[in-house]
């Protein structure tokens, strides 16, 4: 073989003096910090920095979306439809998909799910480009009309800021997870100006088992993110709302019914998003995915302009009682005062927002499902109140408040979709200032969450990971098992025997082995059975049987086999079901790989547990 004599092959390229100097300076800083700044104090300082940075990212993202959308739609006539609605959304998806494919070079949509995945399986490590790639792609997607939200991308961005800053300071795994959570919380707090909701988002949606020691950095980051948003955009709520109509206790039965209704709407939202996006994934050609998604989205927005972008303008109108305003720019503007037309339009907006969201992400756009759930919730609340008022079930002199029920519907669907009732209550109150409706918000969110939880154990963000057994939850045992991987616990130092070997050969193998368990395989390596030392101890010392008895006479079929890649939670369930202490591991073709034992899993469990919880 010819020898490569190039200099680059013979000697690694020396580090530049600048990189050496920078690395040395950084290491001296890390050593100084470790010596002079206590760990808990430093984590709070880092949480503050991450909170400020994530808040700035949230402000930047909202500004970019507003500038793009404003530039494109500022000259539209509210009394007529506009054919540009057929063009802008598709262009946005195209630009975002090109950026993701050629520049980011990896999928970056579904930001919250990707943060959950990083916490579960990537040791809370996110790439550097994640700190800005979602901002660029989502601002283009949403600004041009993509029917998704900016909250998923800002959670991804904030988490990436926390992850990369934590990695730079060489934080331990449990502390790094805490800083990632701080970034995500600050992103939500900054985008909605809702610090309490930001903290609850981390607990209920990211599902980290946070201890009392984690509360201070988490609160610090959330408050910092919201404060930055207030400084740059003013001390006002996200959605302007004034409660001009008081809430009466006599309305509680209708509030409970709304909660049940929102629960089923949430199930519709979760199920349909999952199925439609699954259909898009089956389209292997990205240009076909773009064509289907772009055409679907553009047609829906042309027919129903409130589906454009996040839909916050329509939300603001409805929570302030302006039902006819949702007809602006649409083909149906002339029917804005017709009761049946209003009901049908509200129903269609809520039903087809799900299709528009799935088409945006499936076609190549980048965005989240947070804002769409708010939009669908408001439509559900207004539709419910409007229908009750016009069916004669209530005194026409004291109708249900459209504004109040719009707010309740927002909280209800959010709670059911995300399985986060506390976050839904506080986020709705913080976004709108509707604290006087706290009791009905609590009733609707609790009822909706209960209905949704009956039919599906996971919210929309956790659903994808749960299917693959890759989800961290508040149940610490299950979470630690999720973090354990099969490859790390397989033991391979077992002596293999074959079915045609004699008892004499078996005894010789036992003498050279330090194990008391022996896998039996055929010539192709396929596992046929196992031999346990205890099972043949009574015949091991009978020379008269050495040549007459073969392994296939005394081998046993194992109580179960474990396939490589099986989630550890399922492996433990197999141990419980069989009562075994060791189980053989095989590949997809049935070939022997090794053994997995309870003792090995328990030892690994204890090691992972020490790095799991931040105190």
Q: Is the pLDDT of residue 536 over 90?
A: no
416 Cβ partners below 8 Å, 6+ apart?
262, 263, 265, 266, 267, 269, 448, 449, 451, 452
pLDDT at 8: 38
Residue-wise pLDDT tens digits, 338-363: 889 999 999 999 999 999 999 999 99
* Same domain assignment for residues 382 and 267: yes
Domain of 518, in residue numbers = 484-610
- What confidence category does residue 604 fall into, taking pLDDT thresholds of 50, 70 and 90? low
pLDDT at 16: 46
- What confidence category does residue 378 fall into, taking pLDDT thresholds of 50, 70 and 90? very high
Is residue 241 domain-resident? Answer: no
What CATH number has the domain bearing residue 519?
3.10.580.10
What CATH number has the domain bearing residue 105?
1.10.3080.10
Q: Is the pLDDT of residue 320 over 80?
A: yes
- What confidence category does residue 261 fall into, taking pLDDT thresholds of 50, 70 and 90? very high
- 580 vs 354: which has the higher pLDDT: 354
Q: If residue 454 lies in a helix (H) or strand (E), which one and from where to where?
A: helix 438-455
Q: Is the pLDDT of residue 96 over 90?
A: yes
pLDDT at 335: 84
pLDDT at 482: 54
Residue-wise pLDDT tens digits, 10-36: 344 444 444 555 567 777 777 877 777
pLDDT at 161: 95
Is residue 17 domain-resident? Answer: no
Torsion of CA 569, 571, 574, 579, to 10 degrees: -110
pLDDT above 70 coverage of the chain, percent:
87
* Same domain assignment for residues 448 and 565: no
- What confidence category does residue 334 fall into, taking pLDDT thresholds of 50, 70 and 90? confident
* Same domain assignment for residues 218 and 312: no
Is residue 14 domain-resident? Answer: no
- What confidence category does residue 549 fall into, taking pLDDT thresholds of 50, 70 and 90? confident
Q: Is the pLDDT of residue 562 over 60?
A: yes
Is residue 50 domain-resident? Answer: yes
pLDDT at 535: 81
* Same domain assignment for residues 98 and 81: yes
pLDDT at 6: 40
Residue-wise pLDDT tens digits, 167-179: 888 887 778 888 9
Residue-wise pLDDT tens digits, 278-304: 899 888 888 999 999 999 999 999 999
Say which DSSP state 520 is in: E
Is residue 157 domain-resident? Answer: yes
* Same domain assignment for residues 494 and 450: no
* Same domain assignment for residues 461 and 500: no
* Same domain assignment for residues 67 and 216: yes
pLDDT at 468: 59
- What confidence category does residue 431 fall into, taking pLDDT thresholds of 50, 70 and 90? confident
pLDDT at 254: 93
* Same domain assignment for residues 78 and 205: yes
Is residue 392 domain-resident? Answer: yes
Number of domains in the chain: 3
Residue-wise pLDDT tens digits, 454-492: 998 878 887 766 665 555 544 444 555 555 566 678 888
Q: Is the pLDDT of residue 195 over 60?
A: yes
Strands (E), 302-386: none
281 to each of 241, 289, 614, how far by Cα in Å? Answer: 40, 8, 37
Which residue from 603, 605, 557, 602 is spatially nearest to 583, judged by alpha carbons? 557
* Same domain assignment for residues 453 and 497: no
Quote the CA–CA distance of 286 and 244 in Å, as a whole number.
50
* Same domain assignment for residues 601 and 575: yes
- 424 vs 236: which has the higher pLDDT: 424
Is residue 290 domain-resident? Answer: yes
Is residue 457 domain-resident? Answer: yes
- What confidence category does residue 608 fall into, taking pLDDT thresholds of 50, 70 and 90? low
DSSP codes, 531-596: EEHHHHTTTTT-GGGTTT-BHHHH-B--S--EETT--HHHHHHHHHHH--SEEEEE-TT-BEEEEE
pLDDT at 471: 53
Domain boundary among 206, 233, 260: 233
How many other CB atoms are there within 10 angstroms of residue 48's CB atom?
17
* Same domain assignment for residues 165 and 256: no
- What confidence category does residue 225 fall into, taking pLDDT thresholds of 50, 70 and 90? very high
Domain boundary among 193, 208, 233: 233
pLDDT at 38: 83
Q: If residue 99 lies in a helix (H) or strand (E), which one and from where to where?
A: helix 88-99
Q: If residue 54 lies in a helix (H) or strand (E), which one and from where to where?
A: helix 39-73
Quote the CA–CA distance of 437 and 253 in Å, as a whole number.
15
* Same domain assignment for residues 304 and 437: yes
Rounded to the nearest integer, the mean pLDDT of the chain is 84
Q: Which of 114-123, 257-266, 309-318, 509-518 has the lowest mean pLDDT?
A: 114-123
């Amino acid at each position: 073989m010819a020898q490569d004599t190039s200099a680059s092959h013979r000697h690694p390229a020396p580090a530049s003096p600048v990189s050496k100097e920078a690395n040395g300076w950084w290491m001296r800083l890390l050593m100084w910090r470790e010596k002079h700044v206590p760990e808990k104090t430093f984590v709070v300082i880092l949480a503050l920095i991450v909170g400020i940075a994530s808040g700035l990212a949230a402000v930047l993202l909202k500004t970019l979306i507003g500038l793009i959308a404003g530039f494109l739609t500022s000259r539209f006539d509210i009394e007529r439809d506009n054919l540009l609605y057929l063009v802008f959304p598709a262009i946005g998806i195209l630009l975002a998909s090109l950026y993701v494919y050629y520049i980011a070079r990896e999928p970056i949509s579904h930001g919250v799910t990707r943060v959950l995945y990083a916490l579960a399986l990537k040791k809370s490590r996110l790439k550097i480009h994640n700190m800005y790639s979602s901002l660029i792609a989502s601002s283009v997607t949403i600004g041009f009309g993509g029917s998704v939200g900016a909250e998923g991308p800002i959670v991804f961005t904030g988490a990436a800021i926390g992850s990369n800053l934590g990695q730079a300071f060489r934080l331990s795994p449990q502390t790094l997870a805490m800083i990632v959570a701080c970034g995500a919380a600050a992103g939500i707090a900054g985008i909605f100006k809702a610090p309490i909701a930001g903290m609850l988002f981390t607990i209920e949606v990211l599902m980290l088992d946070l201890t009392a020691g984690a509360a201070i950095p988490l609160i610090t980051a959330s408050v910092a993110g919201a404060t930055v948003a207030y400084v740059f955009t003013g001390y006002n709520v996200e959605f302007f709302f004034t409660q001009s109509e008081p809430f009466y206790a006599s309305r509680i039965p209708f509030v409970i019914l709304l909660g049940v209704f929102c629960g089923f709407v949430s199930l519709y939202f979760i199920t349909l998003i999952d199925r439609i996006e699954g259909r898009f994934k089956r389209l292997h050609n990205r240009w076909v995915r773009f064509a289907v998604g772009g055409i679907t989205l553009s047609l829906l927005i042309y027919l129903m302009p409130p589906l454009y972008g996040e839909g916050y303008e329509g939300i603001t109108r409805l929570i302030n009682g302006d039902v006819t305003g949702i007809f602006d720019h649409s083909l149906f503007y002339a029917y804005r005062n017709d009761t049946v037309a209003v009901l049908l339009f509200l129903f269609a907006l809520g039903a087809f927002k799900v299709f528009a969201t799935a088409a945006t992400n499936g076609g190549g756009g980048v965005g989240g499902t947070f804002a769409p759930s708010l939009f669908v919730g408001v439509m559900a609340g207004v539709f419910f109140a409007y229908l009750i008022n016009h069916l004669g079930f209530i005194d026409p002199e004291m109708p249900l408040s459209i504004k109040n029920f719009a707010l309740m519907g927002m909280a209800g669907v959010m709670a059911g979709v995300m399985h986060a009732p506390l976050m839904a209550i506080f986020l709705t109150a913080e976004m709108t200032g509707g604290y006087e409706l706290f009791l009905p918000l609590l009733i609707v969110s609790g009822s909706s969450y209960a209905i949704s939880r009956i039919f599906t154990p996971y919210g929309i963000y956790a659903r994808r990971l749960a299917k693959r057994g890759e989800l961290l939850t508040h149940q610490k045992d299950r979470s630690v098992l999720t973090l354990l991987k099969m490859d790390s616990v397989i033991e391979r130092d077992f002596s293999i025997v074959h079915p045609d070997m004699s008892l004499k050969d078996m005894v010789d193998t036992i003498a050279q082995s330090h194990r008391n368990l022996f896998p039996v395989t055929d010539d192709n390596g396929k596992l046929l059975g196992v031999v346990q030392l205890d099972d043949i101890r009574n015949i091991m010392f009978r020379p008269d049987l050495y040549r007459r008895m073969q392994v296939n006479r005394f081998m046993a079929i194992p109580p179960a086999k474990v396939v490589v890649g099986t989630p550890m939670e399922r492996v433990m369930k197999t141990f419980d079901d069989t009562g075994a202490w060791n189980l053989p591991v095989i590949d997809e073709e049935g070939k022997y790989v090794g053994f997995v034992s309870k003792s090995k899993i328990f030892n690994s469990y204890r090691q992972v547990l020490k790095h799991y919880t931040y105190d």
